[in-house]
Amino acid sequence: GWGFLNRYVITFNWSQRTFTLVANQSAQSDEPLVSFGFSPFIQKDTSSQKSYWTIGSIIEGSPAHQAGLKLGERIVSINGNEMAAVTNSCDLYSPTSRIYQEMNANTLRMELMGKNGKRLIQLTKAPILPK
C-alpha cells in the first residue's frame, strides 16, 4: 500500500520526474518498505485528448528500475486488465478502483506502450529502501 510514505520526507524534482525519500526518524517502523518501485502518473495524449496512466517515477535499484521501465511509458494493461483512459484522477487512492487494487498486488504483469512499441514485463514486489 501507500501508507509507507508517512515514514519518509519526500522531495520531488518535477523537471526530472524523480523523488527522493529520506527516513523520518519519528515515524520509523520495523517493517521494510516493499514495493515495485514506480509510481503511476496521469499524462494527456495530445492526439486523442484523453488521459492515460503512465510511468511517472522510478526508484533506482527497484524491481521497476531493474526491469527497464521508462518514464512516460503508457500502462496498457495490468494483470490482463486493460487500463482505459483515466476518468477520475483520484482512482490511484480509491480502494475500489482497478489501478489501486492492481498496485497493491504482489506481482504485476504489465503491458507497456513506449517509443519502441508494446512490451510485456513482470514485476514482483521487493524491499527497496532500508528500514
Return the pLDDT at 67: 95
CB 78 within 8 A of CB 86: no
Return the pLDDT at 63: 94
Tell me the C-alpha distance between 84 and 87, whole Å. Answer: 9
Dihedral sign for Cα atoms in the order 76, 80, 86, 91:
negative
Pairing of β 74-78 and β 8-13: unpaired
Return the pLDDT at 1: 45
pTM of the model: 0.69
Q: Which three cell numbers stand for residue 76?
A: 496498457
Return the pLDDT at 39: 86
Low-confidence ranges of the chain (pLDDT < 50): 1, 131
